[in-house]
Chain A
Amino acid sequence: MPKSATNQHIASLYHFLAQCMHYPDPQWMNEDFFNILYQLLETLGAASEGKEIENTLAQSSDPIEELQIEYTRLFINGFPHVVAPPYASVYMDQSIQGGFALKTLNFYRAKGFLMEESADLPDNLIHELEFLSLLAEEADFEGEEEFLSTLFRPWYKQFCPRVAQETRHPFYRMVVTLIDSFTKEEEEDGFQLNKA
């Protein structure tokens, strides 16, 4: 399928969302990043969500550390309990690197992709979004749909509400909701995440 500007734009959005799920670090999570984020939200009609994030950050003496603590609590080892490890197998196999991770890896392979040495596990949300970005870049819509329906949505729809409901920071609520909207199956469409 020919590459088009639309495909590139969708690919870059996936890539942007993947980046949002990286551990917060001032090297990338800087003024430029937040400006782009606010701009993106405004264009999507979610300026107030952008404002909420901006206000939360402004109120903190160390906004990046606050996001790091929240990221750790949500996704790594939180207290009293980690909220939502960002790995498919956790939801599908009750394990890190379960059979679902292997299925995911095999899908990447079937499409001609491999994991880099430095990569996290194949079923990490970041890598799944990177993969979707690469598929979009190649305009492999069929592959994208298949991946979303068989390997992404089954776990992500469990992961997303956990984060959205439990997070104490609007940034992560916004990111997981944005990913949700971006990846929802057609049959799942139509419901409004925010009851307001």
Chain B
Amino acid sequence: MAFNLTRRKFLQTASLVAAAVPLSKVAYAQPGVAKVSLEPKGTMGDTTVVGGLCEMCFWRCQLIGKVRDGQLMKLEGNPKSIDNGTSICARGNAGVKLLYDVDRLKYPLKNVGQRGAPIWKRISWQEALDECGSKLKAIVEKHGPQGICVFPHGASAKYPMHYFERTVGTHNVSEASFFQCRGIRDVAYVATTGKAPGEFVDMANTKVIFLIGSHLGENIHVSHIKAYIKGLQNGAKLVVADPRYSAAAAKSDIWVQIKPGTDTAYLLAIMNYLVTNKKYDKKFVAEHTAGFDKFSAAISEWTLDKAAKECDIPAAQIKEVAELLAANAPHVAIHPGRHVSWYGNDFQRERALACLTGILGAYYVKGGWVPPKNPKLGKTSWAQQEHGDEHNLNVSHDKKVHPFNPPGTPTELIRDCAISGKPYPIKGCVIWGQNPMQTIPNQEKMKQVFKAMDFVMCVDVMPTDATMWADILLPESSYLERHDEIKAGTGRIKADDKEPTQFIAPRMPLVAPMFERKDQVYITNEIAKRMGHAKDIPVQTLEELVDKTLATANITLASVKAEGGIHLQPGQSGYGVPEDFMVQLFSEEIAAAGFPGAPTYIAIEEVPAGFARLLYGRAPVHTFNRSQNNVWLNQQMPDNPVWLNDEVAAKIGLKDGDIVGFINSEGVRSRTTTTVKVTPGIRKDAVYMYHGYGSANPLMSTGVGKGVDDTSLITKIAIDPESGCHGMRNNFVKLTKDGKVLDIPA
């Protein structure tokens, strides 16, 4: 191009040119900058905005935002919070960088290329919603509501999930938080005690904290960690069963370096020891448990020696732990865990944890499992409608396939149906806040699901790997830009308060959404209108939804805002066992469904020669793949080194910092590489890495290709038979270096 003039000369020429060319004839847009008649203003100053509710993870810490001229400068814990207080974690702080992430979705996009290899074109909301509405409607008309499957996650996905489940009428909804995370825990405890356990262990006041695999400290939820630390400060003993020397193991009094997959055998041996030696809580067992005799008989085979052999730990150590628990019962915190979809035998392990708590009498007592008495709030959403079980994939011949499934349909049943077309076609896919490419095992299978669809729509804040498979991609306002879910809980204003205080914290926006990002109520309602459900719409705005819910507690958004973003009211202690509370040590219901009525150990596949079991977990500064593109968090922990036993490393010639890739037992290679962390702190038969790295989507410019995507190596699918949830730690890997495959020595 010939524009090589000086600016001065160029301007001279340009002004002549402009005079000669009819520039005024162009149809100009309205300018965004305008002269003001008022005196020019300087900076508008700083403000503190209340009502933030964090969603960098699911814990929902209460926030305030320091805002300057509409720009969020800093996030802090809300000083009024009796939950997280003024503290927030690294991820919470880094919410600012999610908000202003350069790669965030800004406008509705249409894929004019192919699924998996998209070419994006910005389109209007009108066009995007018309396309979503008409395509989904056509699928329902042709295949029925069951022709749509939904993969939701997070606070914003509830409203659309209810729409598709309740109003449209599909059962084919799979939440990652259930089927790839905590669902097994919840259903196992419900089957045992009638209650989902949350993480309601009174760690601050306990005498023993008992963790199976939970790596608190690497897994950080502020108020939970505060309680854990307080408990340790108060002298609680810490028992950690983990194949790896985790952050929790590093603080433990007893580290049980257990063989992966054998945790249930370990628990059964502890319980058998307590029963055999009459060191259980006889009064609690008599008053609040059922099936003790059958339970005792069923677990009697689990001697210390048998478990020691199975779990590859000393029998004396099992006895030591059992004695410690017995000596301190009932003030012992048997942690139910959170992410528990490990081996496909997890329902039984969670049952065992619930039963152990029971025979120690550690329910509703100081230091035990104590559910808080939280404020009662009504629920506002799409009205429940009956849709029958004819198209429920989890019901076959009037019998449930996985009788103790969490809400929704087990993921694998949906995927198999979508791929095979049997028993019916599934042709539409709605992904809302979930990234099924990095949450659900076997990525190739997930791709097959997407390929089988007539239409895929995706709503998210970031261009996650799953968004590459969308036909229409819609940008959602983030948790910092919208009203939304309400966190209700219980805490203490002062540590020595006798009675707890309840709090209600509805999410309020700290800043306005930028670009054309919209919230879930707007998007869902507009699609519902186009699918013929306008009359069923329960609320017009997200604000209305929150206000209607708050009205059930006689408060409003305005009143809570005036209170500093959090409403406080007197609460009640959660101590004291309800009369009707029962622990089903042997469950007739579970037995009737064809499963073991007492907690039972089911052995898993052994590690094949030359391989190591692939274990994964949480990094303290990341929430799985959701935060991998965050610039601050990436800087703190840019990749996920693989933990390798030091003796193994020496034998195969690897040293700390070496660059390695992976190949799994099914021949799948990692797309990327990572570094080796050589340590005695992991068993020889396992390797470990942090989950949620190595995005495949180049649109995630910070996270793409950083570290290794462990999910890409999780190709063998294990299904927990009772719940239908996935087990994801039954995959085996070898390391590769410079193109050479390295066998892991036994």
Q: In the complex, what residue of chain B is closest to A39 when comparing beta carbons?
A: B21
Using Cβ atoms and an 8 Å threshold, which residues of chain A touch B34?
113-116
A193 to B4, CA, bound (A): 7
Give B65 Cβ to nearest chain A Cβ, in Å.
13
Using Cβ atoms and an 8 Å threshold, which residues of chain A touch B21?
36, 39-40, 43
Candidates A9, A30, A184; contact of B14 at CB < 8 Å: A9
Give A151 Cβ to nearest chain B Cβ, in Å.
13
A19 to B314, CA, bound (A): 75
**B26 A112 Cβ-Cβ under 8 A:** no
**B7 A181 Cβ-Cβ under 8 A:** yes
Candidates B15, B17, B20, B32; contact of A130 at CB < 8 Å: B32
Q: Tell me which residues from 321 to 345 in chain B have a Cβ below 8 Å from any Cβ of chain A.
A: none
Q: Is the interface of B mostly helix, strand, loop or mixed?
A: loop
**B42 A110 Cβ-Cβ under 8 A:** yes
Given contact pairs A10-B15, A46-B1, A112 touches B106 in the complex (Cβ within 8 A)? no
A44 to B27, CA, bound (A): 22
**B2 A194 Cβ-Cβ under 8 A:** yes
**B3 A46 Cβ-Cβ under 8 A:** yes
Using Cβ atoms and an 8 Å threshold, which residues of chain B touch A97?
71, 100, 514
A168 to B435, CA, bound (A): 31
Q: Which of under 10, 10 to 19, 20 to 34, or 35 or more describes the interface residues of A?
A: 35 or more
A189 to B9, CA, bound (A): 10
Using Cβ atoms and an 8 Å threshold, which residues of chain B touch A69?
112, 119-121
**B121 A96 Cβ-Cβ under 8 A:** no
Give B1-43 as 1s and 0s: 1 = Cβ < 8 Å from A's Cβ atoms.
1111111101101111111111111111111111110011111
A105 to B43, CA, bound (A): 9
A35 to B14, CA, bound (A): 17
User: Does A111 make an interface contact (CB < 8 A)?
Assistant: yes
Using Cβ atoms and an 8 Å threshold, which residues of chain A touch B106?
76-77
Give A16 Cβ to nearest chain B Cβ, in Å.
5
Give A38-66 as 1s and 0s: 1 = Cβ < 8 Å from B's Cβ atoms.
01100111100100000000000000010
How many B residues have CB within 8 A of the partner chain?
70
**B29 A28 Cβ-Cβ under 8 A:** yes
Give B734 Cβ to nearest chain A Cβ, in Å.
30
Give A74-103 as 1s and 0s: 1 = Cβ < 8 Å from B's Cβ atoms.
001111111001000110001111100110
User: Does B102 make an interface contact (CB < 8 A)?
Assistant: yes
A145 to B593, CA, bound (A): 79
**B41 A109 Cβ-Cβ under 8 A:** yes
Give A44 Cβ to nearest chain B Cβ, in Å.
6
Give B701 Cβ to nearest chain A Cβ, in Å.
6
Candidates B5, B105, B515; contact of A181 at CB < 8 Å: B5
Given contact pairs A94-B631, A96-B104, A186-B7, A79 touches B698 in the complex (Cβ within 8 A)? yes
Interface contacts beyond A102-B68, A119-B32: sample of 7 additional A-B pairs, CB < 8 Å, sorted by A? A36-B26, A76-B122, A77-B105, A101-B71, A113-B36, A115-B32, A194-B1
The interface of chain B, by Cβ under 8 A from chain A, is 1-8, 10-11, 13-36, 39-43, 68-69, 71, 97, 100-107, 109, 112-113, 117-122, 463, 468, 473, 514-515, 631, 698-699, 701, 704
Shortest Cβ-Cβ A-B pairs, 3 listed: A119-B32, A9-B18, A80-B698
Can you spell out 15 A-B residue pairs with CB atoms less than 8 angstroms apart? A15-B23, A15-B31, A16-B23, A16-B26, A23-B122, A43-B16, A76-B107, A76-B122, A82-B102, A94-B102, A109-B43, A130-B32, A173-B1, A182-B10, A189-B7
